[in-house]
Amino acid sequence: MSAAMRSLMLVVPLVAFAIGGGLYVPSERYNTGSEPALSSLPPLPAWAREGLPDFSGYRDTTEKKVAFFSFLYPRIVLANSRILIERDYLDSLTTKDTLSKQEHTWLTAQSKRLRVEGEPGSPEQFAVLRKRLDVIPPSLILAQAANESAWGTSRFALRGNNLFGQWCFSKGCGLVPLSRVEGASHEVAAFSSPYHSVRAYIQNLNRHASYQGLRDTRLDDREAGDPLSGLALARGLISYSERGEEYVNDIRSMIRYNNLEFYDTEFRRILSDLSPSHLKSLASASAEQVLLPGQKSTGASAEG
């Protein structure tokens, strides 16, 4: 990678942050963020199921950061583009006078997944679902993943593909924290791939009561026609860690120092075309490299 590209992605070097507090999901068995069946969603490409690379071998800090962001960003684009396909389908249902059994089933599954109450097919249900079924800016995801996983080198990242410190509460659902206090039952969730960790992280921000403020900020920006900003949405993470405001400041500092708003700009660029065919090409890209910044083609065919 050229020095010019590195300087574009990274303004100044950062020392690695320590792993922050885990995402607390208190009252139910952990959910991986799996997608309710939908015919317009293409098969998940094979590369999305690949495991985490070894980032520990990098001696140069900047190279390590670029490698980490280059690995994760395509998975963020993949997860967000698939959410946008689901969002388009949701919007199509709002125009119908009568819903089919299959459409009701999908709405019920999404409502359960995103913890939305209300009469099936009601305006209230559609409004809350549309607020919760939405994307998270790449800059926020990249910063939290780097912070929570120690740049992909933590025990939970290496052994469980967990980049965000998500907890689970069923015995054997993940890895037992070495520092877990006696009497506690939580584990740090294990995922089949880093992509599924990303998808579950987005789901938690989209449905947990603790992140209502984040969703309110996102909705305000949507209604004002403003671009979604990781810096702005980070204010809604006050409950993500017991460190509270200090944690939020760390995440916002990581976004600034690593020039992660660059990825938000790139994401907006590729979403300048929101046609179903383009979203499908993003959601089924044949190789992760075609989703990296600066690429002109998405390579639409899926591998699995």
pTM of the predicted protein model: 0.86
Q: Is 304 domain-assigned? A: no
Q: What is the reported pLDDT for 189?
A: 86
| CATH number of the structural domain spanning residue 100 | 1.10.530.10
> Under a CB-based contact definition with an 8 Å cutoff, are residues 136 and 59 in contact?
no
Task: Look at the chain and count its residues.
Answer: 304
Q: Is 303 domain-assigned? A: no
User: Which two structure tokens, joined as six digits, stand for 75?
Assistant: 């998975």
Rg (the chain; Cα; Å): 19
The rounded distance, in Å, linking the Cα atoms of 209 and 85 is 24
> Under a CB-based contact definition with an 8 Å cutoff, are residues 64 and 71 in contact?
no
Q: Is 156 domain-assigned? A: yes
Our separate counts of H helices and E strands in the chain read 12, 3
228 pLDDT exceeds 90? yes
Residue 215 Cα distances to 165, 196, 209, 223, angstroms = 20, 21, 10, 12
| Residues near 11 by beta carbon (within 8 Å), at least 6 away in sequence | 256, 257, 258, 259
Q: What is the reported pLDDT for 69?
A: 97
User: Which two structure tokens, joined as six digits, stand for 55?
Assistant: 């980032």
Place of tokens 């690593």: 258
The rounded distance, in Å, linking the Cα atoms of 27 and 42 is 32
Q: Is 255 domain-assigned? A: yes
What is the pLDDT confidence band of residue 301, given thresholds at 50, 70 and 90? very low
Q: What is the reported pLDDT for 242?
A: 87
Tell which residue, 194, 166, 176, has the closest CA to residue 31.
166
The rounded distance, in Å, linking the Cα atoms of 298 and 286 is 8
Higher-scoring residue by pLDDT: 187, 285: 285
Phi-psi region of 135 (alpha: psi -120 to 50; beta: other; left: phi over 0): beta
Q: Is 59 domain-assigned? A: yes
5 pLDDT exceeds 60? no
What is the pLDDT confidence band of residue 118, given thresholds at 50, 70 and 90? confident
pLDDT 10s digits, 233-291: 999 999 998 899 999 999 999 999 999 999 999 999 999 999 999 999 999 999 999 99
Give the structural domain span for 133: 3-11+22-291
pLDDT 10s digits, 50-89: 999 999 889 999 999 999 999 999 999 999 999 999 999 9
Angle at 85 between CA 25 and CA 100, to 5 degrees: 95
Q: Is 107 domain-assigned? A: yes
pLDDT 10s digits, 128-169: 999 999 999 999 999 999 999 999 998 889 988 999 988 777
The rounded distance, in Å, linking the Cα atoms of 134 and 207 is 11
Q: What is the reported pLDDT for 185?
A: 62
Q: How many domains does the chain have?
A: 1
> Under a CB-based contact definition with an 8 Å cutoff, are residues 129 and 110 in contact?
yes
Q: Is 299 domain-assigned? A: no
Q: Is 253 domain-assigned? A: yes
